[in-house]
Structure 1
Amino acid sequence: METAYVLVKSVMAHEMDVMSELLKIDSVKEAKGTFGVYDIFVKVEAKTAKEVEDTITKKIRKIKHVVSTTTLSVIPEQDKK
Structure 2
Amino acid sequence: MITYILATCIPGNEKEVIQKIKELPNIVEVNGIMGKYDIFVKIQADEVMKVDFTIGKLRGVPHITSTVSIPVLYGQGGTIDDEK
TM-score, normalised to structure 1's length?
0.92
Ranges in structure 2 where 5+ consecutive residues have no aligned partner: none
In 2, the alpha carbon distance for the partners of 1:74 and 1:27 equals: 15
Distance (Å, rounded) in 1 between the aligned partners of 2:16 and 2:81 = 33
Q: Give identity over the alignment, percent.
A: 30
Matches within 5 A, 1:1-81: 2-57=1-56, 59-78=57-76, 79-81=80-82
List gaps (5 residues or longer) in structure 1. none
Q: How many residues align?
A: 79
Distance of 2:25 and 2:51 partners within structure 1: 11
Counterpart amino acid of residue 69 in structure 2 = T
Q: CA deviation at 1:19?
A: 0.1
| Cα distance in 1, alignment partners of residues 44 and 33 from structure 2 | 20
Report the AA paired with residue 75 of structure 1: L
CA distance in 2, matches of 1:7, 1:67: 11
Which is higher, the Rg of structure 1 or of structure 2?
2
For the residue of structure 2 that corresponds to 1:77, the secondary structure is: coil
RMSD across aligned positions (CA): 1.0
The alpha carbon displacement at 1:67 in A equals: 0.4
Q: Measure, in 2, the Cα distance between the counterparts of 1:9 and 1:71.
A: 12
Question: Which AA in structure 2 matches 1:74?
Answer: V
Alpha-carbon deviation of 1:7? 0.2
Provide TM-score, normalisation by structure 2. Answer: 0.89
How far has the Cα of 1:26 moved from its partner?
2.2
